[in-house]
Amino acid sequence: MRIIAGTARGRKIFSVSKKLPVKPVSDRIKQSLFDIIRPRITGAVMLDLFAGTGNVSLEALSRGAMKTVMVDKEPACLKTMARNLEHLGFKDRAKVLKGDILKGTQWLAAYGEEGVYDIIFMGPPYRDINNKPLNFTGPVLASVAAACLLSRGGMIIAQHHQNETFEIPVGLETFREEKYGDTIIHFLRYKTDDTAKPQGA
Q: Whole-model pTM?
A: 0.91
Give residue-wise pLDDT tens across range 133-160: 678 899 999 999 999 999 999 999 999 9
Give the Å distances, CA to CA, from 4 to 8, 57, 86, 180, 200. 8, 12, 18, 18, 38
pLDDT value at residue 175:
95
Instruction: Tell me how far apart the alpha carbons of residues 169 and 88 are, in angstroms, rounded to a whole number.
Output: 36
Rounded-to-integer distance, Cα 41 and Cα 59, Å: 10
Strands (E) across the chain are located at 45-49, 67-72, 94-98, 117-122, 150-161, 172-180, 183-190
Whether 97 contacts 70, CB under 8 Å: yes
In this structure, the number of other CB atoms found within 10 A of the CB of residue 3 comes to 21
94 vs 61: CA distance, rounded Å: 9
Which pLDDT score is estimated for 16?
81
pLDDT in tens, 105-129: 999 999 999 999 999 999 887 666 6
Mean per-residue pLDDT, 48-75: 96
The per-residue DSSP string of 97-153 comes to: EE--GGG-SGGGGGGSBTTBEEEEEE---SB-TT--B---HHHHHHHHHHHT-EEEE
pLDDT digits (tens, 9 = 90+) for 7-44: 999 999 998 876 666 677 888 999 999 999 999 999 99
- CA-based Rg of the chain, rounded to a whole angstrom? 16
Distance from C-alpha of 69 to C-alpha of 96, rounded to nearest angstrom: 6
Paired strand residues for 48: 70, 121
Q: Could you give all domains of the chain from N- to C-terminal order, each with its CATH number?
A: 28-196 (3.40.50.150)
164-185 pLDDT tens trace? 889 999 999 999 999 999 999 9
* 200 has pLDDT over 50: no
At 201 the pLDDT is 44
Give residue-wise pLDDT tens across range 90-103.
999 999 999 999 99
